[in-house]
Structure 1
Amino acid sequence: MSDFTVALSTAPAAPAWGENTRLSFSETGATIHLSEDAAPERIVQQAARKLDDLSLRAVALTGEWSKSLQWAFALSYTRARNPGSIIWADNEDADDLAREYSALLFTRKLVNDSPEDLSPETLSMRAASWLKELGGDNVSYTITSGEALNEAGWIGIYNVGRGSERPPAMLELDYNPTGNADAPVDAVLVGKGITFDSGGYSIKSSEGMLTMKCDMGGAATVTGSLGLAISQNLQKRVKLILCCAENLISGHAYKLGDVLTYKNGTTVEVVNTDAEGRLVLADGLMAATETGAPLIIDAATLTGAASVAVGPDYHAVFSMDAQAREKMLSCASAEYERFWPLPLEPFHKDRCPSPFADTANSRPMKGGGAGGASNAAGFLARFVNPQGKGWIHLDLAAAYNGSATSEMPVGASGIGIKSVARMLHEF
């Protein structure tokens, strides 16, 4: 049986297929009809979604395809369950696309898996095992979990995760291709790994909780990014820190009104247990800062406010370092991934005041109030160097689709892995 072929054409479809149709069929496959008055990536993505609905086992891209259009097809064609395989167009981009697609599939599967199958420790082990497989002896790691987190002073991860019977965990992984144990660390990636988020005592609605297996999308994204960079023969030393926990309710769970004292002396009043992501990331950012790395990128499905601001198509970018922010945006543009800057100033550190601590973890109102995404970034800014030099915070509004759209399948998107990988190479 021959492969189902998909070709591109700038010619319109035959009139029998309907006026302005973008997809027509033949005995051997389909043709996507591009148009001068519409973005080609969007046309390809919409056609890929229609083809994906046919549950094809495999498609072969034939004819003249640019790398960006092949990637656009892959993003939209690859459904969450039993995805069909793709045979890339026969050009010089096939090997690069295969590496990128492998990282995309790993990232998406990690997010899409059932929360019952992905405990905090399991998330840490799966990330570490995959990167070890790619990086071999250049990769080493440790996992700290349960009471050992509290003893080590990682009180954010510990407190958010102590309500669950499955212990919280912190993965610290070192990719060091230099062969020198004393080599400086070039970059650190930090990921929010909340494997399920009930909201804690600030409990979510059933509808709001349904997709909360995706709340470890930040951890998956930075893991996928590092894995992609390793497969691209990255020659820089990079550390990965995943902050993993289940945010559940029990007699052991952390509570509203608790005050947490972090390693750097910052005290935090908990006014919303559903603002847990920033509490775990604070630990990861302190660990990252201790390395002295000139670049720190954290990624998290952190706030609904970011989604309100930029919608489901963009990731929000925050940084007090203009040069780092612009470089991140430039990398995203080069990879055809949508990133958009939102405000972050030093005064945002003080936008969640508390009479009982240095700061609260949010504002005691729905969504954290106006500017909630910037206020969350301001909270995180307390845990990096005071000027925020070299630090970039990504609020991943485009990480997950609760339902399929005309351009993207339901579930994890994997958007961002290519941009962060490029950033590791170029910063």
Structure 2
Amino acid sequence: MTTTNDQLAANATCSFGPKIDIISYHSCDASFMAVHLTTKAAPDCFVEGTSMWPNEHGGFNVHVDLSDERALQAAGRTIAAAGLNKVKVTTSENDLRFDVITATQFVLAMYSDALENSGFSVALELDVPNLEAVRRNVSIITLGRVFANSPNNIYHTTELLEVYFKALEQAFTQNKGQGQLSFKIYKAGDALFDDNCVGLKTVGQSSAYEPCLGVVDYIGPGADENKVDIALVGKGIAFDTGGYDLKPSNYMQTMHTDKSGMIYMAAATILAGAMGAGKHVRCYMPCAENRISANSMVTGDIITYPNGVKVEIGNTDAEGRLILADALILASKDQPKFILDSATLTGAAKIAVGRDMCAVLSRSNKMDPQLEQAFNYTKEEYWLLPLREYHKRYIKAKRATIANTSHGDGAPGASTAAAFLSYFVDPNIKWTHIDLSNAYNKESSPYLGTGSTGSTILAIAHWLVGSQY
């Protein structure tokens, strides 16, 4: 019952969202609006703090505040918010000239999921190799944003992975990806699924759409196909009602994006391959729906994982960690040098750090230096939250090893969720957990429009390329 590459090619067709054209400044015509970036403030005739105003050349000036590390990204959002969708961008100041990273972030800032955003065009002062790199980055990250934000009634579980895998394969080819790429989908009837995926079966039994485990294998130039260097794991809840611990309707409105960790991790894998990463990267994508039915899990249920850990269901809305556990056990069996997981896991992380950065937790309570370098280089924001041994006391259960939700006054939700995951990761393998609090914007931020953000894709791709693991 395993779905393979050939079946994907036969079964899947897809479109990838808005058309984004990125061209050289020297190739654009008179239909492009001229936008000039400057550190100078608006003239006195404008309200203090005005960020965009008309200039004497028939175009617009946009103020860029260099005290903000993401200032050029903010400029892109300012231009998009003004309704411009065909712009040529110039500057006379060296500090405002684009490189690949800042140009990528600038273009990504112009995207939103608004119905009227059918696409846009940007002309930049970059040479051809850098323009190609920006196009590569933007196309793959946008693909991730589109699929993370896809409505639940369009694609469910296995179909979602089939269509997404086909789109990723096309993106890999179009962007001249190097190395070998393969996709597989495991579901009921496959030994790997039946013998290992306790969490997926427990959560997914609530839905008419079967749970599954997607696996992306990227083997870069010179990498050993028999040895996984880095394992990625992403949470893929295609839709989350909360189960019998039902979410209030206002919290359920964005739950079609509860698959963002899975979608973003796969996009990062493909982007790293398009950049020529010389590693064997395996990306695990556990995917299920958390719905309500006669077959749904209920509080008090106890499940036993292949590593012997027994989990008592304390809350059916803490389902993401149950499916991540399956994938983390499998990733540990691969014995990679590093395991990185990403999930829209807790509301506690959003309360702690907001929606403009992700939360990072690790056993060492330090950001891995190479991962930190990649986040800083790509201007992706993160905040380190604590993960201590004593956090495990909040998830201890009387009838099982642990519970899937925390108890006790003052339990720190993001930390206790990571503590839960730690039971399923080989303690001898380096591991970092990302709580993806910045996966989605209900409202525009100063840097990104509404909808799925694509945050962390660029940073993780650069880490996969540049790290020594």
TM-score (norm: length of structure 1): 0.92
CA distance in 2, matches of 1:240, 1:280: 14
CA distance in 2, matches of 1:291, 1:402: 37
Aligned match of 2:451: 411
Structure 1 segment 136-215 matched on structure 2, within 5 A = 138-146=180-188, 148=190, 151-178=194-221, 182-215=225-258
1:343 aligns with 2:374: no
Aligned partner (choices 125, 130, 141) of residue 104 of structure 1: 141
CA distance in 1, matches of 2:137, 2:437: 21
1:246 aligns with 2:275: no
Tell me which amino acid in the other structure corresponds to 1:126.
V
Aligned match of 2:425: 384
Aligned match of 1:65: 97
Q: Closer, same or farther in 2 for the Cα pair 1:180/1:299, shift >3 Å? A: closer
TM-score (norm: length of structure 2): 0.84
CA distance in 1, matches of 2:132, 2:466: 20
Aligned match of 2:33: 4
Shift of 1:46: 4.4
Tell me which amino acid in the other structure corresponds to 1:31.
N
Aligned partner (choices 43, 51, 60) of residue 30 of structure 1: 60
Q: Closer, same or farther in 2 for the Cα pair 1:150/1:271, shift >3 Å? A: farther
Identity %: 32
Q: Contact conserved, 1:188 with 1:288, CA < 8 A, in 2? A: yes
Deviates more, 1:326-335 or 1:245-254: 326-335
Q: Closer, same or farther in 2 for the Cα pair 1:425/1:137, shift >3 Å? A: closer
Encode CA deviations 1:185-222: one digit per residue, 9 max, x unaligned.
11111110001110001110000000111101101110
1:90 aligns with 2:118: no
Encode CA deviations 1:228-270: one digit per residue, 9 max, x unaligned.
1111111211111101011100111111111111111111000
Tell me which amino acid in the other structure corresponds to 2:370.
K
Structure 2 unaligned runs (5+)? 1-29
Q: Contact conserved, 1:217 with 1:301, CA < 8 A, in 2? A: yes
What's the Cα RMSD here?
Answer: 2.3
Q: Closer, same or farther in 2 for the Cα pair 1:41/1:28, shift >3 Å? A: farther
Instruction: Determine which structure has the larger helix proportion and give its number.
Output: 1
Q: Secondary structure at the match of 1:393?
A: strand
Q: Contact conserved, 1:363 with 1:369, CA < 8 A, in 2? A: no
Aligned match of 2:357: 314
CA distance in 2, matches of 1:384, 1:246: 24
CA distance in 2, matches of 1:223, 1:116: 22
CA distance in 1, matches of 2:239, 2:285: 15
Q: Contact conserved, 2:365 with 2:387, CA < 8 A, in 1? A: no
Tell me which amino acid in the other structure corresponds to 1:139.
L
Tell me which amino acid in the other structure corresponds to 2:235.
K
1:228 aligns with 2:271: yes
Aligned match of 1:359: 402
Shift of 1:360: 0.4
Q: Secondary structure at the match of 1:354?
A: coil
Q: Closer, same or farther in 2 for the Cα pair 1:85/1:224, shift >3 Å? A: farther
Equivalences, count: 422
1:49 aligns with 2:82: no
Q: Secondary structure at the match of 2:259?
A: helix
CA distance in 2, matches of 1:71, 1:128: 23
1:113 aligns with 2:129: no
Shift of 1:347: 3.4
CA distance in 2, matches of 1:137, 1:330: 25
